Amino acid sequence: MPSTPSSPATGARSTGPEPLPAHLRAAAAERALVMGVVNVTPDSFSDGGRWFEPGAAVAHGLRLLEEGADLLDVGGESTRPGADRVPVEEERRRVLPVVTELVRAGAVVSVDTTRSAVAADAVEAGAVLVNDVSGGLADPRMADVVAAAGVAYVAMHWRGHADVMDALATYDDVVTEVRDELARRLDDLVAAGVRPEQVVLDPGLGFAKRGSDNWPLLAHLDVLRGLGRPVLVGASRKRFLGHLLAGPDGVPAPPERRDAATAAISALAAAAGAWCVRVHDVAPTADAVRVAAAWTAGAHVRAGR
């Protein structure tokens, strides 16, 4: 049976995983954090490889910090539907110089990888969080690396790699099934030596999910928070938003036209208690999470009368 930690109190905010820097945990006690995406790939669905060269990626990351990002997520392998895998050495070549330079510039850096070898090298270069879209399923050695390093770890709901995940999007009750599968991942990670305090959970919007599957997950973040760990939401520019915003001709809105909808989700997710939102366009979401925090605080004032 999946573990069932007691649910967090309604409206209570998680400060996030203990290994993160104190200033981030303090900020997370007040509002959702904002994770800025730094894609070091030539084939990203969202930005088409604009930041593929290390210098461009570092400059982009620094701009995201100026726009309000709390931490930066550096990834060297596209996880868009249908994407092919890249060799591990190529992923290292893309990621490590960018992680090193951003850490040197004072950024709090996450590495977006499913490979334990890349995670270990990035942590050695200064990354303090491993964001694994497979939740440890793609590489059985990932849990050992995370446990030994003691870093924060985002375990996303995952059923298969990008080239097969669309065929795995079958659910009777998507909220219950995602919750239970994440609970099993949490149990397995802890059994492998990862402390629960290191783990953040991610429902995996768009990964082995039909477009209509994503909305119940967003509307029921409380069910995922009931597992007792902070929740990260990554809706930014995803396909289900493109379909939602399709024009009269039925053509989905392109990724760059999905940022306003992303900011709306960021505000709603933050108000629902999400620990962090992962986005490509930082400035609108940095404003959105602060609006959500003020809104929530106002509700508590009224409730206390």
Beta strands in 94-198 (DSSP E): 109-112, 129-132, 152-156
Which residue in 231, 246, 233 sits closest to 278, CA to CA? 233
Which residue in 77, 82, 93, 95 sits closest to 139, CA to CA? 77
Phi-psi group of 208: left, alpha or beta (phi > 0 → left; psi -120 to 50 → alpha; rest → beta)? left
Of 185, 209, 238, 258, the active-site residue reads 238
Beta strands in 135-256 (DSSP E): 152-156, 199-202, 232-233
Of 278, 290, 302, 305, the active-site residue reads 278
CB-count burial class (<10 Å; 0-12, 13-18, 19+) for 217 = buried
Name the strands in the sheet holding 129-132, side by side, starting at the edge strand that comes first in the sequence.
199-202, 152-156, 129-132, 109-112, 71-75, 33-39, 276-279, 232-233
Phi, psi of 170, deg, nearest 5 = -125, 125
The 10 Å Cβ neighbour count of residue 254 is 12
Please indicate whether residue 278 is annotated as part of the active site.
yes
Q: How far apart are CA 165 and CA 138, in angstroms?
A: 13
Indicate which residues carry an active-site annotation. 238, 278
